[in-house]
């Protein structure tokens, strides 16, 4: 059981959601937008988070949208990971979200919830970062459309009362050669020691990472190293490792040096795979 009470709002529109947030905040309820709710429930159960109000966004039509248009793939923040995986709309994203938690839990976790989560890994962000995605936000000032790189730096950075409504991905990214590798301590289920997502566009590799540091990230410096064709693949991987944006994560699953070892090998695998395609 969750050892505290909260108010549950289920708005039908984005404006109702923002209004509910404003009202709950004014009542001192410290509201949270609620997607799949898996993190809020599991952390609430052990008192790691506490809220007086949740605003469930899953019934908002914009949040439930999933479509492939002529140019853009539109994914609502309330779309579950399993729905993304099953749709095949963007295979790299499908593979990445298909390795988060387990299949049944993927039927509950939403894209917006994973992006906005507090755990280190948030692997759905990786394909979105390297696909130069656009995020549609809705807040007290209305809509805001921004590149994900402008609002995701180690974590999502939203204005007060703002929520993610949708993510847009240029369809061209769905047809590019890619690599997705997740290395977990045991078998397939579990938090990653290292996850690498990479795309190759016009001969250039873009890459984003989870597990190696205590946050998901895309690093331009690491990409420069990976694309430095004056270096061998071994030296590219070694140079990329020197550009990590923070100390490697060290916890009960693995030490920092071991994670770097795994990342080095995974980068070699990535370079080999993407080196074989034009």
Partner 1 sequence: MTVYEGKNVITLDVNGSKRDVTVRPSDILLDVLRRELNLTGPKPGCENGDCGACTVLIDGWPVKSCLMLAVEAVGHAVTTVEGLKDTPIQKAFVDNWAFQCGYCTSGFLMVCHALANIHPNPEEYVIEDWLQANICRCTSYAEIRDAVRQALEAY
> At its nearest, how many Å lie between partner 1 and the CB of residue 37?
7
In the complex with partner 1, the residue whose CB is nearer, 101 or 137, is 101
In the complex with partner 1, the residue whose CB is nearer, 11 or 161, is 11
Return d(Cα 273, Cα 269) in angstroms, integer.
Answer: 6
Position 82 contacts partner 1 (CB under 8 A): yes
Return d(Cα 97, Cα 103) in angstroms, integer.
Answer: 10
Which two tokens mark 179? Answer: 């690599």
Q: Which of 26, 69, 186, 188 binds partner 1 (CB under 8 A)?
A: 188
Which two tokens mark 210? Answer: 């989870």
Return d(Cα 133, Cα 170) in angstroms, integer.
Answer: 7
Position 49 contacts partner 1 (CB under 8 A): no
Q: Which of 30, 103, 157, 204 binds partner 1 (CB under 8 A)?
A: 103
Return d(Cα 76, Cα 63) in angstroms, integer.
Answer: 4
Position 12 contacts partner 1 (CB under 8 A): yes
Position 41 contacts partner 1 (CB under 8 A): yes
Position 66 contacts partner 1 (CB under 8 A): no
Q: What angle do CA 159, 99, 213 make, to 5 degrees?
A: 55
Which two tokens mark 152? Answer: 């995701």
Per CB under 8 A, residues contacting partner 1 are 1-2, 4-12, 16, 20, 36-38, 41-42, 44-45, 54, 56, 58, 82, 98, 101-105, 107-108, 187-189
């Amino acid at each position: 059981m969750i050892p505290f009470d909260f108010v549950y709002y289920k708005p039908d529109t984005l404006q109702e959601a923002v209004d509910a947030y404003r009202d709950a905040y004014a009542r001192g309820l410290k509201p949270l937008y609620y997607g799949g709710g898996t993190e809020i429930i599991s952390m609430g159960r052990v008192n790691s988070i506490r809220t007086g109000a949740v605003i469930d966004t899953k019934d908002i039509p914009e949040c439930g949208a999933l479509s492939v248009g002529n140019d853009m793939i539109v994914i609502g923040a309330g779309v579950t990971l399993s729905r993304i995986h099953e749709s095949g709309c963007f295979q790299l994203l499908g593979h990445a979200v298909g390795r988060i938690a387990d299949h049944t839990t993927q039927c509950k976790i939403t894209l917006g919830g994973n992006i906005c989560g507090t755990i280190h890994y948030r692997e759905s962000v990786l394909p979105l970062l390297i696909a130069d995605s656009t995020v549609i936000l809705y807040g007290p000032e209305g809509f805001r459309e921004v590149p994900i790189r402008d609002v995701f730096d180690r974590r999502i950075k939203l204005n007060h009362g703002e929520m993610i409504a949708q993510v847009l991905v240029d369809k061209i990214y769905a047809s590019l050669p890619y690599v997705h590798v997740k290395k977990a301590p045991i078998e397939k289920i579990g938090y990653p020691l290292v996850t690498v997502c990479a795309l190759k566009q016009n001969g250039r590799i873009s890459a984003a990472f989870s597990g190696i540091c205590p946050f998901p990230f895309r690093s331009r410096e690491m990409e420069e190293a990976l694309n430095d064709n004056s270096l061998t693949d071994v030296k590219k991987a070694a140079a990329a490792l020197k550009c990590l944006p923070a100390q490697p994560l060290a916890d009960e699953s693995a030490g920092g040096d071991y994670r770097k070892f795994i990342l080095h090998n995974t980068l070699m695998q990535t370079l080999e795979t993407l080196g074989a395609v034009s």
